[in-house]
Amino acid sequence: MLSSFIICISLFVAFSVEGQVLPDGRGADDPLVQALRWERVVYGSDDPVRTHQALEAKAGCYAEAGLFEDAVATLERIRMYLLEADDVSEILLLKARYSHLAGDDGTALGYLEESGKAESEPGLYAVLLAGSWRLSEAREWALRWAGDDVSRKEAVRKLFKKAPHFKKEGTATLLSMIPPAGQMYLGKPSAGAASLLLNAGAAAFTALELLDHNWVTGFLGGGLLLNETYFKANLQKNLSRLDDVNRVAAKRFSSELEALLAPSVFPRKDP
């Protein structure tokens, strides 16, 4: 009984903001206030079409406020199986755009490919492919975006000449066998210098203990120390660092590509 009363009070407070100014200074035209109004429509509607429209509008309000993750989460609430195929494609395209703006290019790429609208959105597709490390495909779609415009094609080719060369796991593993080569390969010279000093110290400790015939300390203590400095702090850390290095490089390049293609390819398409 008490919980029902609390829910009713909460809904009354939430839905009474129309035409008012909220305590934090937000007016009725604020996108978050508008989002709350659309949620009220969703809550009170038993019409699937109206519910779908309200959720799409609410997602647009969140996008206007820069809350792109919330916009995607709102679109996820739409019951896609009730929509026509064209409407499904449009919602998936919106999810792709909002996911990209939220910084999740991998998810955005999946939505765009699922929508079947890559052909009509070559610029967006190129940027998402670049952010997902698929540079050869990204170049192809960026050239499609350029069409017959010679200057645009030249700009695309010039940019892709500066495309990053992603680090390879096999090479990183092999070079990590010799500190600081692995860190240098990954563009982390200071980490390499630190790793070299740590491993040199661990190796020296182990050697000195063995020379003094301290077998237990040498083999056991030295082995444990080298496990921490060589295997964990060197090998394992380099491999975990590899994805981060490639992800940062891909994101930086996709941002440069987006800057080249914008704004004609990336107009805000809020509902």
Per-residue pLDDT of the chain (271 residues; tens, 9 = 90+): 444 444 444 444 444 444 444 444 556 678 888 888 998 888 887 888 888 899 999 999 999 999 999 999 999 999 998 888 999 999 999 999 999 999 899 999 999 999 999 999 999 999 999 998 899 999 999 999 999 999 999 999 999 999 998 888 888 888 888 888 888 888 888 887 888 787 777 777 778 877 777 777 767 776 776 777 777 777 788 888 888 888 889 899 999 999 998 765 555 444 3
Q: Is residue 54 part of a domain?
A: no
| pLDDT value at residue 23 | 45
- Cβ–Cβ under 8 Å, residues 219 and 210: yes
Q: Is residue 195 part of a domain?
A: yes
What six digits make up the tokens of 223? 């082995």
Q: Is residue 215 part of a domain?
A: yes
Q: Is residue 53 part of a domain?
A: no
Q: Is residue 94 part of a domain?
A: no
Q: Is residue 106 part of a domain?
A: no
**d(Cα 262, Cα 264) in Å, to the nearest integer?**
5
Q: Is residue 263 part of a domain?
A: no
Please give the residue range of the domain that contains residue 195: 169-240
Total domains in the chain come to: 1
- Cβ–Cβ under 8 Å, residues 166 and 250: yes
116 conformational bin, left if phi > 0, alpha if psi -120 to 50, beta if neither: left
**d(Cα 247, Cα 239) in Å, to the nearest integer?**
13
Q: Is residue 76 part of a domain?
A: no
| pLDDT value at residue 28 | 62
